[in-house]
Amino acid sequence: MTQADNAQDDSGVDIGLGLGLAPMSVPKSSDVLANHLRQQILEGKLVEGSALPVERALATSVGLGRQTVRDALRVLEIEGLIVTRPGRAGGSFVRRPDTATFERTLNVLVSGRGVKFHSLLEAREGLEPVAARLAALHRTDDDLVALDRVAAKMAESRGNVPLFLQCNVEWHVAVGAATHNEVIEAIVNSLSKVILRSTDIEEFNSEETMGATLEAHSRILKAIRAGDADKAASSMSKHVHVYRELVENLNVPEDIPM
Amino acid sequence: MTQADNAQDDSGVDIGLGLGLAPMSVPKSSDVLANHLRQQILEGKLVEGSALPVERALATSVGLGRQTVRDALRVLEIEGLIVTRPGRAGGSFVRRPDTATFERTLNVLVSGRGVKFHSLLEAREGLEPVAARLAALHRTDDDLVALDRVAAKMAESRGNVPLFLQCNVEWHVAVGAATHNEVIEAIVNSLSKVILRSTDIEEFNSEETMGATLEAHSRILKAIRAGDADKAASSMSKHVHVYRELVENLNVPEDIPM
DNA sequence: CTAGGACTTATGGCCTGACCTTTGTACCAT
DNA sequence: ATGGTACAAAGGTCAGGCCATAAGTCCTAG
């Protein structure tokens, strides 16, 4: 907005001579290529697993240098749309983006903007009940099996704080999967992992806390199993609220590490 | 998970001889450099706006080729951590990541995984009330001024459906900003924009619908102004629920375009 | 003395061409 | 069969250059 107004001279008169003249941006050729390929992939013209042309062939076919092509492919790789392997029979292959890319972006956002730990917990306190509600509405029998398995694993890991916390994340991830809503799943999972990354050193997990956590999970899972959306949401709400108060009254690092 | 198990032979016995042997990955040098620079930036050792060394200097100082350095910088650029400008006095400058990167990632996730329009609306129905609640709790007077301004602009744009929808997004974005929770803000804003991108052609916005929307916004804003979190959440919940039913009973494109 | 234009310079964008590294395949020797 | 050697195909990296862009510098016309 600062240097976009230079289509007008000092008198403020449009100098474009009545034509549709505006300060035009000259995109990098690698971006043009990246956008083109991204569109092809997202439109489904390149199905998952199919191979893109090899770099040298792509370069000659689009009339650009190999480095430029590599630049474009790198963009798609970062976005999680392709995976690139070296070696014979290597190349770039179309890939379905998964939660990992989303998680990395959230990480960068949180660290880069100095988001407070409090804000993360607050967000989670708001979002997890939503996930629990949708899980209660949409969960399948398979989801319940998975949740039971994680819950059992978690119960066994009492005493091993890092493992317990890891299982805790897995449990929340399993709830996210049970929502069968990939947006909610991605958000909640990423948030859980980011919070874990800022929390695993803490020693707040006493034997008593672990027991309370297991009981809360049990209550939530029961509601999810019964398909009781309101109960699942309220139980989850109470659970994450207690968790937040516990953490905040104990140790307030404020800033997220790394 | 498919080819990660080749540390075991056919008999399923760990061949690692008791050492910590696992299939190890050899990172690309450009990734190593990118990770290093990212860490420097996220640790705050490079404050916003400060310039990185120019490409040629960076290349010689780390002992890598210029192309490799460019590759690393490109990664950071995609992640929104730096901007890079050509020309004299150009170069790469540290930047605070903003919502835009997050939005792009959400876009890719939605399009790439073929997330149903229904899921987007469902997610929004769950998340917007959370935002409204936090907005009621944390809004400042400035936030209220901004919300009033957007609401007024929106009321004026009745009859111009695209503009009305655009203002609608702006209103929800303003609510997100009023939460003063950057995580919630990023999520809700991105979701609104993605939904808009899949909606703007629709002709469902009758005069009657617009009126109802404005009234709902008015009720929500009143609750936010009063600091009534429960009221804000429930009003918003009703609003987005009505919106969803309206859209879904009218036209179900199922898949998100592009 | 000032305004505008021509030159200079520093920087990223892009190209060509080469070499190295990784990986898969085929073939051969033990 | 087992292992080794050679080859081939692809990405990864480097070197050096030229072009495009944008900011500074200087010089001249008015």
Domain boundaries along the sequence of chain B: 1-96, 100-249
Nearest-CA distance A207 → chain B (Å): 31
Q: Which residues are paired to A254 by β-bridges?
A: none
Q: List the CATH code of the domain at A1-96.
A: 1.10.10.10
Which residue minimizes Cα–C1' distance to C9?
Answer: B88
- CA dist A157 and A167 (Å) reads 8
- The whole-number average pLDDT for the span B144-162 is 91
- CA dist A253 and B8 (Å) reads 42
Predicted pLDDT at A5: 36
Is there a contact between A168 and A162 (Cβ–Cβ < 8 Å)? Answer: no
**How long is the CA A88 to C1' D7 vector, in angstroms?**
12
Residues on chain A bordering chain B, Cβ-to-Cβ distance under 8 angstroms: 38-39, 41-43, 67, 70-71, 74-75, 78-81, 96-97, 101-102, 104-106, 108-113, 115, 119-120, 122-123, 126-127, 130, 133-134, 181-184, 186-187, 191, 258
Nearest-CA distance B39 → chain A (Å): 7
b/e code B217-236 from CB counts within 10 Å (16+ = b):
bebbbebbbeebbebbbbbb
- CA dist A14 and A6 (Å) reads 10
- CA dist A63 and A167 (Å) reads 51
**Identity at B238, one-letter amino acid code:** K
- CA dist A160 and A213 (Å) reads 14
- pLDDT tier at B162, thresholds 50, 70, 90: confident
- Estimate the share of chain B in helix, then strand, then coil, as percent rounded to the nearest 5: 60, 5, 35
**Lookup: tokens for B2:** 């498919």
| Residues of B in Cβ contact (< 8 Å) with A120 | 183
- The whole-number average pLDDT for the span B240-248 is 87
User: What is the distance of C-alpha B89 from the center of its chain?
Assistant: 31
Record: contact B71-A71, CB cut-off 8 A: yes
Is there a contact between B231 and B144 (Cβ–Cβ < 8 Å)? Answer: no
Instruction: Say which of A41, A186, A258 has its CB closest to residue B109.
Output: A186
- CA dist A138 and A223 (Å) reads 12
Closest CA to B174 of B204, B197, B207, B152: B152
Predicted pLDDT at B160: 82
DSSP code at position A128: H
pLDDT, one tens digit for every residue, chain A (258 residues): 333 333 333 333 444 445 555 666 789 999 999 999 999 999 988 999 999 999 999 999 999 999 999 999 999 999 999 999 999 999 999 999 999 999 999 999 999 999 999 999 999 999 999 999 999 999 999 999 999 999 999 999 887 888 888 899 999 999 999 999 999 999 999 999 999 888 756 566 677 888 889 999 999 999 999 999 999 999 999 999 998 888 777 655 555 655
The answer to whether A1-96 and A100-249 have equal CATH topology is no
- CA dist B3 and A95 (Å) reads 16
Q: Which residues are paired to A116 by β-bridges?
A: A255
Task: Tally A–B CB contacts below 8 A.
Answer: 126
Q: What is the largest CA-CA distance in chain A?
A: 77
DSSP code at position B48: T
Record: contact A183-B130, CB cut-off 8 A: no
Stated as kind and residue range, the H or E segment containing B30 is helix B29-42
B20-29 tens-digit pLDDT: 666 677 899 9
Closest CA to A109 of B135, B41, B109: B41
Does residue A18 sit in helix, strand or coil? coil
| Residues of A in Cβ contact (< 8 Å) with B81 | 108, 112
Instruction: Give the residue ranges with Cβ < 7 A from strand D.
Output: A 26, 54-56, 66-67, 70, 84-92; B 28-30, 59, 63-68, 71, 85-90
State the pTM of this model: 0.86
- CA dist B151 and B128 (Å) reads 17
**Lookup: tokens for B219:** 């009720």
Which residue minimizes Cα–C1' distance to C8?
Answer: B88
User: Please, is A98 exposed, middle or buried when counting C-beta atoms within 10 Å of its C-beta (0-12, 13-18, 19+)?
Assistant: middle
- CA dist B138 and B42 (Å) reads 27
Predicted pLDDT at A20: 58
- The whole-number average pLDDT for the span B157-175 is 89
User: From B123, which residue of chain A is nearest by alpha-carbon distance?
Assistant: A184
Record: contact B81-A120, CB cut-off 8 A: no
DSSP code at position A65: -
Q: Where are the alpha helices (DSSP H) in A139-180?
A: 141-156, 161-178
Q: What is the tally of helices (H) and strands (E) in chain A?
A: 10, 2
Predicted pLDDT at A215: 93
Interface test with B, best of A108, A189, A244 (most B CBs within 10 A): A108
Does residue B255 sit in helix, strand or coil? strand
Closest CA to A123 of B186, B33, B205: B186
Nearest-CA distance A134 → chain B (Å): 9
Nearest-CA distance B112 → chain A (Å): 5
Instruction: Say which of B67, B109, B126 has its CB closest to residue A102.
Output: B109
Predicted pLDDT at A50: 95
**How long is the CA B52 to C1' C6 vector, in angstroms?**
32
Beta carbons within 8 Å of A156's beta carbon, 6+ residues apart: none
CA distance from start to end of chain B: 30
Instruction: Say which of A67, A126, A184 has its CB closest to residue B184.
Output: A126
DSSP code at position B200: T
Predicted pLDDT at B15: 45
Determine the topology of domain A100-249 in CATH: Four Helix Bundle (Hemerythrin (Met), subunit A) (1.20.120)
User: From B111, which residue of chain A is nearest by alpha-carbon distance?
Assistant: A42
Nucleotide nearest to A54 in CA–C1' terms: D10
**Identity at A111, one-letter amino acid code:** S
Predicted pLDDT at B9: 39
Listed range (A14-18, B85-89, B120-124) with the worst mean pLDDT: A14-18
Predicted pLDDT at B200: 59
Predicted pLDDT at B10: 39
Instruction: Say which of A112, A184, A191 has its CB closest to residue B42.
Output: A112
**Lookup: tokens for B159:** 């009859």
- CA dist B15 and A54 (Å) reads 35
Listed range (A43-47, A136-140, B239-243, B253-257) with the worst mean pLDDT: B253-257
**How long is the CA B26 to C1' C23 vector, in angstroms?**
14
Average pLDDT, chain B: 87
What size, in residues, is chain A? 258
**Lookup: tokens for B226:** 């009063």
Q: Which residues are paired to B94 by β-bridges?
A: B82
